[in-house]
Amino acid sequence: MATLYPKEIVTPLLSNTIIGRFQKKLLMFERKDHFYKKAKKEGLASRAAYKILEIEKKFKIWKKGNSILDLGSAPGGWLQILSQEVGPHGFITGIDRSPLKIAPPQNVDFIQKELFDPTLTFDRQFDSILSDLSPDLSGIRFRDTYRSYELAVRVWELAKLFLKKKGNLVIKVFPGEEMELLKKEMKKAFDRLVTFIPEATRKTSSEVYLVAIGFRGQ
Ligand SMILES: C[S@@+](CC[C@H](N)C(=O)[O-])C[C@H]1O[C@@H](n2cnc3c(N)ncnc32)[C@H](O)[C@@H]1O
């Protein structure tokens, strides 16, 4: 009788089989989908740029002249959009452990740093904090979900220190039991909290964005 293993264990084992190779091809095909091609044509560093535009259209996160902290900035698609949106009187600080693939626009200060670096600090508070951080994917769902949750919690900790009162917070996270705990805590600190999936999100991705409006402080 065949032994049944959980999907999380079988998936990595399949990576060298015909099915595994098919899965990889499907992923590569998805990567070159509509939003990928559009971003390339429009000179944007990533298809992710369209996600933040959708979030802005629906929730009105920022205004001209705002200061924004962008966590998980590389390769730089969100920075390109944010730079234009806040204009020359606005200011963006970007953080990522990987380098950007664009030259940072004039109103952007990019710091290449690990998010969990204990020396990470800022000399100001921000009108909005946005996070598109994603862990390196292992393909093991519960592990990836937990790592995404750890990143989200770190973002929430930074927000408690560096988000202005009435400010807005956007955090990408992979849904799971832990995310519900985080949502519960965030709900208490904001006027409104919505879980949002932009159209530009890959159909194979389980990521969602927690969009929190109107920080009341801790
Ligand atoms: C989906 S990408 C962000 C895309 C970006 N918003 C854009 O528009 O180009 C996720 C980023 O999170 C970063 N990241 C993941 N874990 C991190 C960590 N612990 N510290 C710093 N950056 C991290 C990765 O290096 C990666 O560049």
**Beta-carbon contacts of residue 141 (< 8 Å; ≥ 6 apart):** 7, 8
172 is known as an active-site residue: yes
The enclosing H or E element of 24 equals helix 18-31
Q: Is residue 118, in this structure, part of any structural domain at all?
A: yes
Smallest CA-to-CA distance from 82 within 53, 59, 110 is with 53
Q: What is the number of structural domains in the chain?
A: 1
Number of H helices, E strands in the chain: 7, 7
Predicted TM-score of the model (pTM): 0.86
More confident residue, 150 or 1: 150
Q: Is residue 89, in this structure, part of any structural domain at all?
A: yes
Going by CA atoms, what residue is nearest to atom 13 of ligand 1? 72
The enclosing H or E element of 187 equals helix 177-189
Q: Is residue 210, in this structure, part of any structural domain at all?
A: yes
Per DSSP, the three-state class of 55 is helix
More confident residue, 218 or 18: 218
Q: Is residue 100, in this structure, part of any structural domain at all?
A: yes
Q: Is residue 126, in this structure, part of any structural domain at all?
A: yes
Going by CA atoms, what residue is nearest to atom 11 of ligand 1? 72
**Ligand 1 pocket, residue 205 CB under 6 Å:** no
Q: What is the pLDDT of residues 70-95, one digit of tens each?
A: 999 999 999 999 999 999 999 999 99
**Ligand 1 pocket, residue 70 CB under 6 Å:** no
> What range defines the domain where residue 169 resides?
48-215
Distance (Å, rounded) from C-alpha 154 to C-alpha 9?
28
Whichever domain contains 173, its CATH number is 3.40.50.150
pLDDT, residue 28, reads 55
Which residues, in sequence order, are bridge partners of residue 40?
A: none
Q: Is residue 66, in this structure, part of any structural domain at all?
A: yes
Q: What is the pLDDT of residues 20-33, one digit of tens each?
A: 555 555 555 555 67
**Beta-carbon contacts of residue 39 (< 8 Å; ≥ 6 apart):** 45, 46, 47, 49, 50, 77
